[in-house]
Homo-oligomer: A and B are copies of this chain.
Amino acid sequence: MFEENLEAPENPNMHLNYYQKEDQVLLAVDCIIFGFDKENLKILLIKRNFEPEKGKWSLIGGFLKRDENLDEAAVRVLETLTGLNDIYLEQIHTYSKIDRDPGQRTISVAYYALIDVDSHRFDGIQIDAAHWFDIKEAPELIFDHNEMVRKAKARLKRRALTKPIGFELLPEKFTMRQLQNLYESILDKKLDKRNFINKINSLDVLIKLDEKDMSVSRKGAYLYVFDKDKYEKKVEEDGFIFKI
């Protein structure tokens, strides 16, 4: 089926070529990039400027290269297209329907990423065709990308309930209201304010600052920061689970 270049210098073990009769495939990564602007959950999409499906909305993606693993490929794709690195990424699922991409047989590994929209005001984003959509108002996507987003939302919901990943979506300093807005967006339901604050406080991993955010109310709202060291120490020492 394929002729392989057994001398390819990138793979020092190529001489141990035990599997040479097997079919090879193109492996892509696609990133579901979630953002939060202190009000609503967003998703970053691009308008494809190449075939197939040129002009339609799609996830950001790219192909795995010979010299990197999938996590690295996801980081590279994200950095290339948004200029951002040091972003929370997690693999979700691998999609392999035979005709999922009409261009060529392609298997795609989906990742989701979490970004604070405001702190990372990448100037206009590298690609002008990229746009933040409110998660509730995102357009139809190409291929099986809608299914990827559906699964990513479910995963985010599950993770957010048991791991402190929500803080990846917030600025370093945030108000309780913003934290609650975030959880309401992720869980897609209203939460009781007092119960939410009591729950968060009982976890005992936030530091309340003396500083207030005066931008939204007369009274002002105290700012908090996530105490990552304290959280990690608690996990380490007594198997603490961050549970909303």
Contact = CB atoms under 8 A, between A and B. Distances in A.
Contact of A14 (B19, B26, B104): B104
A228 interface: no
Chain A: number of interface residues, binned into ranges: 35 or more
Contacts of A2: 2-5, 24
A67 interface: yes
A3 to B, nearest CB: 5
B5 A52 contact: no
A26 B18 contact: no
A214 interface: no
B67 A98 contact: yes
Contacts of A27: 24-25, 27, 107
Contact of A94 (B8, B67, B94, B106): B94
A15 to B, nearest CB: 10
A23 interface: yes
Interface stretch (A34-42, A58-66, A201-209): A58-66
A240 B2 CA distance: 50
Contacts of A19: 26, 63, 103-104, 106
A233 to B, nearest CB: 23
A217 interface: no
Contact of A64 (B3, B16, B23, B65): B23
B104 A66 contact: no
A64 B25 CA distance: 9
A23 B70 contact: no
Given A19-B26, A26-B24, A64 B96 contact: yes
A67 B17 CA distance: 23
Given A3-B3, A25-B66, 18 more contacts: A1-B5, A2-B4, A2-B5, A2-B24, A13-B99, A13-B102, A16-B103, A18-B51, A19-B104, A22-B26, A23-B26, A23-B63, A25-B25, A25-B64, A27-B27, A68-B98, A69-B97, A91-B94
